[in-house]
Amino acid sequence: MALLEVTDLHVGYGKVDALHGATLQVDAGQIATVIGPNGAGKSTLLNALAGALPGNGHQRGAVRFMDQDLHKVAIEARVARGVSLVPEKRELFASMSVEDNLLLGSYRRYQARERNHADQLPVVFALFPRLHERRRQQAGTLSGGERQMLALGRALMGKPQLLMLDEPSLGLAPLIVKEIFQIIVQLKQTGVAILLVEQNARAALQVADHAYVLETGEIVMQGPAAQLAQDPRVVETYLGLARTQR
Ligand code: ATP
């Protein structure tokens, strides 16, 4: 079943076109990935889906989530419906503790007077024992990998149905990348659907169910992730020997 359906999405910034008619879908409980090089439009896609385009951004095309049109739905209202973005810049509150950053992730639920608004805290701590150990530490003093975990954990506090991850492996050492991808698989097992945008095609194709290749604003290939991982053009362009260390 399609949770998110994007049809012929065009996005531009002023007169510059960044996305030329992207069509894709994310099924309930599945991981879809969008791989592609720098500047292909991956962040643009996620920001448009989150309702978070900058002031000069504009879009047309259809975006439906759980069979409802997201057009003109503001960013906060999208989060309330279950669409959550973990942006590339992890945007944490550096001087606040790990735990307080996590609790901010449930602030919307608190405002909505949900009685158990912080009920995901033990779930997040179980997924990320390292955040539990460091719950009193200032977020600004965390390592890069721990910050990514905190950004993921904070999004999970809102109990999303669809988690959109913008390059979660960016700037992280290989071992930590491995750990983050293991966590992404665990997240899927909790039932949340994931739209994962990555330059690390090898790792993304390993965890995803379905994959799209985005190049200069266009989806040029798509298919089951395992199938794309065998495709000669994908192998040559994105999985070549030089990339095995990523
Ligand atoms: P990366 O992996 O480097 O983050 P990306 O695939 O996420 O790349 P985008 O950040 O979506 O690519 O950028 C797509 C295109 O849109 C690029 O040409 C970029 O320069 C342009 N662009 C992005 N944001 C803006 C903006 N606010 N104003 C004008 N152009 C922008």
Query: What residue type is assigned to position 242 of the chain?
Result: A
- Measured by CA distance, the residue closest to atom 2 of ligand 1 is 38
**CA dist list (Å): 152 to 10, 118, 215:** 28, 15, 26
- Walk along the chain (246 residues) and give the pLDDT tens digit of each residue: 899 999 999 999 999 999 999 999 999 999 999 999 999 999 999 999 999 999 899 999 999 999 999 988 999 899 999 999 998 877 889 999 999 999 999 888 888 888 888 899 999 999 999 999 999 999 999 999 999 999 999 999 999 999 999 999 998 999 999 999 999 999 999 999 999 999 999 999 999 999 999 999 999 999 999 999 999 999 999 997 654 444
- Measured by CA distance, the residue closest to atom 21 of ligand 1 is 18
**Structural domains of the chain ordered from first start:** 1-82+161-246 (3.40.50.300), 89-159 (no CATH)
- The alpha carbon of 216 and the centre of ligand 1 are apart by a number of angstroms equal to 10
Collect all residues with Cβ–Cβ distance below 8 Å to 194 and sequence separation of at least 6.
26, 30, 31, 32, 162, 163, 164, 165, 184, 187, 188
- Measured by CA distance, the residue closest to atom 28 of ligand 1 is 13
pLDDT tens-digit map of 131-164: 999 999 999 999 999 999 999 999 999 999 999 9
> Hunting for tokens 């150990």 — which residue is that?
133
Tell me the whole-structure pTM to 2 decimals: 0.93
Ligand 1 cavity residues, CB under 6 Å:
13, 16, 18, 36, 38-44, 54, 56, 199
- To test the ligand 1 pocket, which listed residue (15, 42, 196, 216) has its Cβ within 8 A of the most ligand atoms? 42
- The alpha carbon of 39 and the centre of ligand 1 are apart by a number of angstroms equal to 5
Give residue 241's pLDDT: 60
